[in-house]
Chain A
Amino acid sequence: MKATVHVFLKPGVLDVQGKAVENALHGLGWSGVSGVRVGRVIEFDVAADSKAAAEAQVKAMCEKLLANTVIEGYRAEVA
């Protein structure tokens, strides 16, 4: 099964990278842009007997390594 994990800084945690990208977009003339957040997408294949089992594995991976829940939130999809 294919897993896709999206990791973003939590709201309230300063995303300086997002801020820099936002400033660059403004500089290019897109003055209507606001609230840019830069995160990461992690994709991988996972072997499991069922979708639920795969989801449980992926959640554990997120909690242990893929996201730092002190500062980041995540959204995982298995298909």
Chain B
Amino acid sequence: MKAAVIVFPGSNCDRDCKDAIERSTGAKVSMVWHAETALPAGLDMIVLPGGFAYGDYLRCGAMAALSPVMSEVRAAADRGVAVAGICNGFQVLCEARMLPGALLRNAGLKYVCKPVDLEVANAQTRFTAGFGGKRVVRMTVGNGEGNFFADEATLDRLEGEGQVVFRYKDNPNGSSRDIAGVVSERGNVIGMMPHPDRAFEPELGSADGALFFQSVLASA
């Protein structure tokens, strides 16, 4: 498996993602700067990492979504490559309209940083198939604007089509219908606020995140 982590100015989980993917799957991971206009050939997975891309100025992810490398990410997604946006990466994918909805400021106004239990709402996706019978997994959130919002019709459609992948057991940020992660209609683009890259070894409090990266490897 070959993976790439996109690095925006202000990304801060890029190296965590690289380590997490390498240690969970043995895959080779390239770091790709936001100004690049080409991606390495033969990628099986692209990760947009957490952080504060472009300082989160204007809106979280707004300017990152328009950076040069994103046309390549979009083209790769159109070819069926797995794309995962984690935390800030989820915000970027929503701003790029590669996923529906948007992330608002947390309902409680606080930056929330803690482990959370997630219900695996759809275990059939290429990102969750490796969870097996495990229906509740633990990862860590760290966000000030992780409050997933979409209009009611969109939420109904997401639920109806099985596009809700993770739900918070105890909603930390006011997200509509407890949604923590959603997948695109085609199933190859996922956005999630919790960090699998902060939960890939028992020493980190949970190794469930490793299963996320291994799921993508198995489907590659």
Contacts and interface: CB of A to CB of B under 8 A. Distances in A.
A1 interface: no
A48 interface: no
B34 interface: no
A20 interface: yes
A68 B59 contact: yes
A70 B62 CA distance: 12
Given A65-B62, A68-B62, A70-B150, A16 B102 contact: no
Interface string B92-126: 00110000111011111100000000000000000
A11 to B, nearest CB: 12
Given A65-B58, A68-B62, A13 B150 contact: no
A22 to B, nearest CB: 12
B149 A13 contact: yes
A68 B66 CA distance: 13
A20 B130 CA distance: 42
Interface string A3-46: 00000010001101100100000000000000000000000000
A9 B59 CA distance: 12
A54 B147 CA distance: 35
8 contacts: A9-B104, A14-B104, A14-B107, A20-B109, A68-B62, A70-B101, A70-B149, A71-B149
Contacts of B147: 14, 16
B174 A14 contact: yes
A70 B106 contact: no
Contacts of A17: 105, 109
Interface of A: 9, 13-14, 16-17, 20, 64-66, 68, 70-71
Given A68-B62, A70-B149, 10 more contacts: A14-B147, A16-B104, A20-B109, A64-B66, A65-B62, A66-B58, A68-B102, A70-B100, A71-B104, A71-B149
A16 B106 contact: yes
Contacts of A9: 104
B85 to A, nearest CB: 16
A65 B63 contact: yes
Contacts of B174: 14
Interface string B37-81: 000000000000000000000110011001000000000000000
